[in-house]
């Protein structure tokens, strides 16, 4: 028996893979501006196709978000979560470069002036 396979520390440091052997991506949060990313950080995020949109007004309708997003290049689909107190959504794009542009376009956008709802991506 290989001693490294039974060592909990070595298991914690191993990179998880799926059944095809491809690396499984960890969940992440963008903590600094894209302009200051290292080459390694850039490579990590280049395949992102989904953006998270939060701070939606309580009475938001899925159709309102679809009408907003359908004008963005490569927009493909939307999933809105109406559960809980805070509404949130995920927007999917067909190619990996457009979600970053969409994120920049939607960040701090006033979605509903009456309720003072400002989008966060």
Q: Which of 59, 72, 74 is nearest to 115 (CA)?
A: 59
pLDDT in tens, the chain (121 residues): 444 444 444 444 455 565 666 655 554 455 667 677 788 777 766 678 889 998 888 888 999 999 999 999 999 999 988 877 778 899 999 888 888 889 999 999 998 888 888 888 8
User: For the whole model, what pTM was predicted?
Assistant: 0.59
Q: Output the pLDDT for position 121.
A: 86
The CATH architecture annotation of domain 47-121 reads 2-Layer Sandwich (3.30)
List the domain boundaries for the chain.
47-121
From residue 39, alpha-carbon distances to 22, 44, 101, 118 in Å are: 21, 9, 19, 31
Distance CA 41, CA 71 (A): 28
Q: Output the pLDDT for position 39.
A: 81
């Amino acid at each position: 028996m290989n001693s490294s396979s039974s060592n909990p520390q070595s298991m914690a440091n191993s990179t998880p893979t799926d059944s095809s052997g491809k690396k499984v991506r960890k969940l992440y949060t963008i903590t600094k501006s894209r302009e200051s990313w290292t080459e390694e950080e850039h490579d990590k995020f280049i395949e992102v196709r989904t953006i998270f949109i939060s701070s939606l007004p309580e009475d938001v309708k899925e159709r309102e978000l679809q009408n907003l997003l359908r004008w963005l290049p490569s927009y493909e689909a939307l999933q809105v979560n109406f559960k809980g107190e805070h509404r949130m959504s995920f927007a999917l794009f067909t190619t990996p470069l457009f979600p970053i542009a969409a994120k920049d376009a939607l960040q701090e956008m006033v979605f509903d002036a009456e309720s003072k709802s400002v989008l966060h991506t």
